[in-house]
Amino acid sequence: MLVRAGNTWLWTAHAALLAGVLTGCSEAADGDDSQASTRPSASASAETSGAGDSAAPRGGTIGAAGSACELPVAFDTAKSWKAEAVEAPLDQGPVSLACEIDAKPAGNIGFLRVWAGKPGDADARTVLEAFVAAEEGVSGAKYSAFTSGGLSGAKVEYLYTSELLEETKKESAFAVTTAEGPVVVHLGGLDTEEHEEMLPAYELARRTLRAV
């Protein structure tokens, strides 16, 4: 299935990135101790923002015509995160991957991914449930409703277990429906620690979400 192949590719890439990170850490340990990592910890991020799920500093906006990713909705992206439209989209449930917003320039390993679908009668909760159901290895999904920019949507937090890496991590997503079709915004991450450090960027996107 295309989704399965997509997840395998993503986790293979994550495994390779993890190996590189671990190698870099080993080399740093053998070198000058003064060159310590400057990436903020999850607790430091929480202290800076006031709460672990507070919105991050704004860097730009995507969604509108002329932006890096043209979508049925627009929202603010976190400072230093880089957005890029996906040329060969993957499918997951009722939506296809349309945009990736890379956290690496901001010091994290992970993406905020935007998925878009065709117009239909399904509400945001139904779309989100179908999106989650299409991802193997999901457990403990907790759904709730939200509103932003005149849009009503659904959000979810869940655990994803990778058979490839044999580990479990947190993931989050939210969905809205528009006249042009549904949109799902998903935050994964290399592991739970990375996910939690990137949550402020996810919250910024959700809280600034509006129709184009």
Could you state, in order of their start, the residue ranges of all structural domains in the chain?
A: 2-211
Q: pLDDT tens digit string along 92-148?
A: 999 999 999 999 999 999 999 999 999 999 999 999 999 999 999 999 999 999 999
**Look-up: residue for tokens 């528009």?**
178
CATH class of domain segment(s) 2-211 = alpha beta
Instruction: Dump strand ranges (E) for 127-204.
Output: 138-148, 151-162, 167-178, 181-187
The pLDDT, as a whole number, for residue 165 is 75
Task: Evaluate if residue 3 carries a pLDDT over 70.
Answer: no
Helices (H), 115-180: 124-133
The rounded mean pLDDT for the chain is: 81
For position 109, what pLDDT does the model report? 95
How many Å apart are CA 60 and CA 68, to the nearest integer? 10
What is the pLDDT, as a whole number, of residue 163?
83
DSSP state of 65: T
- pLDDT tens-digit profile of 40-63? 333 333 333 333 446 799 999 999
**pLDDT: which is higher, 2 or 149:** 149
Give strand pairing partners of 99. 85, 114
pLDDT for 19 beyond 80: no
**pLDDT recorded at residue 129:** 98
3-state secondary structure of 166: coil
Helix, strand or coil, per DSSP, at residue 16: helix
Q: Does the model's pTM come out above 0.85?
A: no
pLDDT digits (tens, 9 = 90+) for 72-90: 999 999 999 999 999 887 9
HEC string of 83-119?
EEECCCCCEECCEEEEEEEECHHHCCCCEEEEEECCC
What pLDDT was estimated at residue 45?
34
Phi-psi sector, 61: left (phi>0), alpha (psi -120 to 50), beta:
beta
Separation between Cα atoms, residue 118 and residue 180, nearest integer Å: 7
Cα end-to-end distance, the chain, whole Å: 32
pLDDT at position 89: 77
Nearest-angstrom CA–CA distance, 128 and 158: 12
> Is residue 199 pLDDT above 80, yes or no?
yes
Q: What is the DSSP letter of 97?
A: E
Q: Give the model's pLDDT for residue 182.
A: 98
Give the pLDDT of residue 65.
Answer: 95
In whole angstroms, give the CA distance from residue 42 to residue 48.
10
pLDDT at 24: 41
How many other C-beta atoms lie within 10 A of the C-beta of residue 146?
Answer: 15
The CA-CA-CA angle for residues 153, 188, 191, to 5°, reads 145
